[in-house]
Amino acid sequence: MRSLRRVEAPKGFAARVLQRATASEKPLPLRPRFRRGLRWRWIGAVAAILVFFALVANQVRVWRERARVAQIQAQFDTAMRVTDGALAQTRAELERMGLKFGE
């Protein structure tokens, strides 16, 4: 096992490493990581905007529905009041004529 001596590096090895080192001043692994992070931030931002618009749209729909229900309710109340008035008037006239209504 004593034959496991260190081996000489290939000729020009140091020069090649230095060339690569000076060519890439910025760490190579950071760029893909940065891009990956940026991409996820974009996806997150778009998702947040979509959720926001979905919530707003839903709220608007609820408001419109409530307004429509309130309007129908008001119309129904008016109709009931009109009907009550007409019925009271008819009953009064029938009583004046000597007829008992609803007995």
The helix (H) or strand (E) run that includes residue 3 is none
Shortest separation between residue 21's beta carbon and another protein, angstroms: 5
Per CB under 8 A, does 34 bind another protein? Answer: no
DSSP alpha helix (H) spans, 1-103: 13-23, 30-96
Cβ 12 to another protein shortest distance, Å? 10
7-26 positions binding another protein, by CB under 8 A: 7-10, 13-14, 16-18, 20-22, 24
Closer residue to another protein (CB): 15 or 97: 15
CB of residue 62 to another protein, shortest distance in Å = 56
DSSP 103: -
d(CA 43, CA 35) in angstroms, rounded, equals 12
Distance CA 86, CA 102 (A): 15
Shortest distance, CB of residue 18 to another protein, whole angstroms?
A: 6
Which amino acid, 65? E
Residues that bind another protein (CB under 8 A): 1-10, 13-14, 16-18, 20-22, 24, 27-28
